[in-house]
Amino acid sequence: MNPSRYRKRLRLAAIVLALVAPAAAGCGSSNPLGGGSASGDLKSVVVGSADFPESKIIAEIYAQALEANGFNVGRQFGIGSRETYVPAVRDHSIDLVPEYTGNLLQYFDPKTTVTTPDAVELALARALPGDLSILTPSPANDTDTVAVTEATARKWNLKTIGDLAAHSAEVKFGAPSEFQTRTEGLPGLKAKYGLDIKPDNFVSISDGGGPATVRALTDGTVTAADIFSTSPAIPQN
């Protein structure tokens, strides 16, 4: 599998609803995700994750670290996209979710232009709503990639995303549905690289670059797909 990196997710972070927030005590929630610090038990924490392997693994690391320090931990993994789990943190359904500083900043400030890790961290702290805070970011890095098969790369002599842009009309692109409108998704690919994917050529795949996305890429359902650089599917294929 041949990946081209296009948008660094910069440094790993987590967004957390501060357990001392006054709204966290005694507030019920009708959200079906359930749980959260609304119970008023400050030794109980619900950890959530997005619906892709890296997020689930990191969430489990947080969960085990909290358990080792005496917390009762509930797990709500595989919640879905940022558009689902950020509101869940804000309404106390979950207390903690691993995130990526670069993409989280894009979520709260779509017009941001900062790119360096320190600048992103500072801008994110300013952009967050008052009921959210971030833990100290880790230096770990994950990167969105536009992935194609080796056969496609050879056929079109692809080295960069710009090379793929010349074949925009022929490309069927696979990614989660929100990728169509996110700044770091199709709009960014078009603006920065000229890769112009028409709506009819977009295939919505909800597993965040997971097995279904890889299968769609390798069986020819899609020509290119959004797959994270840490995915084991890249060296395996």
Contact partners, residue 74, CB within 8 Å, separation at least 6: 35, 44, 45, 46, 47
What is the C-alpha separation between 17 and 135, in angstroms, rounded? 10
pLDDT of residue 198: 95
CA distances from 164 to 28, 80, 121, 173, 225 (A): 50, 29, 32, 11, 12
- pTM value is 0.66
pLDDT of residue 114: 86
Helix (H, G, I), strand (E, B) or coil at 4: strand
Among residues of the chain, what percentage have pLDDT more than 70? 81
Sequence-ordered alpha helix ranges (H) in 69-115: 82-90, 101-108
CATH of 8-134, one of 3.40.50.970, 3.20.20.150, 3.40.190.10, 1.10.10.10: 3.40.190.10
The vertex-142 CA angle with 198 and 45, nearest 5°, equals: 110
The vertex-76 CA angle with 74 and 80, nearest 5°, equals: 165
Helix (H, G, I), strand (E, B) or coil at 220: coil
In this prediction, residue 176 has a pLDDT band, given cuts at 50, 70 and 90, of very high
- Same fold for the pair 8-134 and 142-236: yes
Q: Which of 54, 26, 24, 136 shows the shortest CA–CA distance to 46?
A: 24
Domain boundaries, the chain: 8-134, 142-236
Q: How many residues can be counted in the chain?
A: 237
What is the C-alpha separation between 178 and 197, in angstroms, rounded? 14
Helix H or strand E segment including 151 = helix 150-156
CATH of 142-236, one of 3.40.50.300, 3.20.20.10, 3.30.70.360, 3.40.190.120: 3.40.190.120
| Helix (H) and strand (E) counts in the chain | 9, 10
Helix (H, G, I), strand (E, B) or coil at 33: coil
Helix (H, G, I), strand (E, B) or coil at 13: strand
Secondary-structure breakdown of the chain: helix, strand, coil percentages, each rounded to the nearest 5: 40, 20, 40
The model's pLDDT over 46-95, given as tens digits with 9 standing for 90+, comes to 999 988 888 898 899 999 999 999 999 999 999 988 889 999 998 889 99
Tokens 């008023």 found at: 40
Residue 206 in contact with residue 51, Cβ under 8 Å?
Answer: yes
The model's pLDDT over 23-41, given as tens digits with 9 standing for 90+, comes to 333 333 334 344 445 445 6
